Amino acid sequence: MIEIKNLKVLFKTFAMPFEDYNFKKNRVTFVKGRNGSGKTTLLKSLANLIEYEGVINIDGEVTYNSQEAVLFNRSVYENIIYPIKIRNLDISQYTKTIDYYCKVLDISHLLTNNAHKISSGEKMKVSIVRSIIFNPDIVLLDEPTTHLDLESIDELTILIKKLKDKITFVIVSHNQKFIDDLLDEEYHLGGNYVFSKINR
């Protein structure tokens, strides 16, 4: 589903190499490692959001859900339908799914609110719905649980369990219960930087 081979991200003063790995289809893989070990860097490389060296083979469409939700200064609903709109898909086909996702994550009452004026946890849930709404093949979730209360984490767990038959998830989280409830595979990062090898 996702194959990484000789992957390396070059920053100004150091290089960050990643061990070869195959992320399996329809499995939930957790990327583990300490702060600064390269989890976000890996996810951004998989989403093609940063430059890298080496090979990333991806079979399907990917969305990256960032550590801090970035929403437009519009209503929650406008944010959620954005991926549908830009793909020129028929929004009416997605009404039921939007209702369902919003109900599971308990954000239905926020649809007409301005997305900048809701809480951090609520923003994360909106952002997650936006990243799954158009049925991508692979969803990368970068620390989705950070701002969520325990009940919301359980709700997100339920949603991911429902979706994993059609979506492959790669997730970073430090919430042990969330990990225990969902983990199929794990990929560990040791933060094996190679310093001062690059002159740029």
Ligand X SMILES: Nc1ncnc2c1ncn2[C@@H]1O[C@H](COP(=O)(O)OP(=O)(O)O)[C@@H](O)[C@H]1O
Interacting residues toward Mg ion by CB under 5 A: 39-40
- Residue 41 partner contact from ligand X, Mg ion, none using kind-dependent CB cut-offs of 5 to 8 Å: ligand X
- Which of 4, 7, 30, 39 lies at the binding interface for ligand X (CB under 6 A)? 39
State the number of CA atoms in the 13 A half-sphere of 138 facing the CB. Answer: 21
Q: Measured from the CB of residue 64, what is the shortest distance to ligand X in angstroms?
A: 12
Q: How far apart are CA 178 and CA 120, in angstroms?
A: 19
Indicate the angle between helix axes 150-163 and 95-104, nearest 10 degrees.
Answer: 140
Q: Measured from the CB of residue 40, what is the shortest distance to Mg ion in angstroms?
A: 3
Q: How far apart are CA 140 and CA 171, in angstroms?
A: 6
Q: How far apart are CA 68 and CA 70, in angstroms?
A: 6
Q: Does 40 bind ligand X (CB under 6 A)?
A: yes
Q: 2-21 mask for ligand X (x: CB under 6 A)?
A: ---------x----------
Q: How far apart are CA 48 and CA 191, in angstroms?
A: 20
Residue with nearest beta carbon to Mg ion = 40
Q: Of residues 41-60, which lie at the interface with ligand X (CB under 6 A)? A: 41
Angle (CA) 94 96 102, round 5°: 100
| Site of tokens 């949603």 | 159
- Which of 38, 83, 121, 136 lies at the binding interface for ligand X (CB under 6 A)? 38
- Which of 35, 92, 176, 199 lies at the binding interface for ligand X (CB under 6 A)? 35
Q: 143-162 mask for ligand X (x: CB under 6 A)?
A: --------------------
| Site of tokens 């519009």 | 74
CA neighbor of 116 nearest in space, from 70, 81, 67: 70
- Residue 121 partner contact from Mg ion, ligand X, none using kind-dependent CB cut-offs of 5 to 8 Å: none
- Residues at the interface with ligand X (CB under 6 A): 11, 33, 35-41
